[in-house]
């Protein structure tokens, strides 16, 4: 499973980062980004919760 944050849609609200900081963080442009590579099994539910908290649906998770 991978998470992808659409940089053009992200409004830097921090909902995903606050929900699952192990997967999401802010990049140098103050936009959210996800960890590169596969999300570890123990963080997958948190990653989905972070996606679901995004008010502009900027996060896509590929199974």
Residues 15-58 pLDDT 10s: 999 999 999 999 999 999 999 999 999 999 999 999 999 999 99
Q: What pLDDT does 35 receive?
A: 97
- Using DSSP's 3-state secondary structure scheme, residue 48 falls into helix
What's the CATH number where 57 sits? 3.30.70.20
- Give the per-residue pLDDT at 54: 98
* pLDDT value, residue 32: 98
Tally of domains within the chain: 1
CA atoms within 13 A on the CB side of 16: 32
**Domain that includes residue 12, residue range:** 2-62
Looking at residue 41, what is its pLDDT? 97
Q: pTM for this one? A: 0.95
């Amino acid at each position: 499973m991978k998470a992808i944050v659409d940089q053009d849609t992200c409004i830097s609200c921090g909902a995903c980062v606050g929900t699952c900081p192990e997967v999401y963080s802010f990049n140098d442009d103050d936009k959210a980004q996800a960890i590169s590579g596969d999300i570890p099994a123990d963080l997958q539910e948190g990653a989905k919760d972070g996606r679901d908290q995004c008010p502009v649906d900027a996060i896509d998770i590929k199974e």
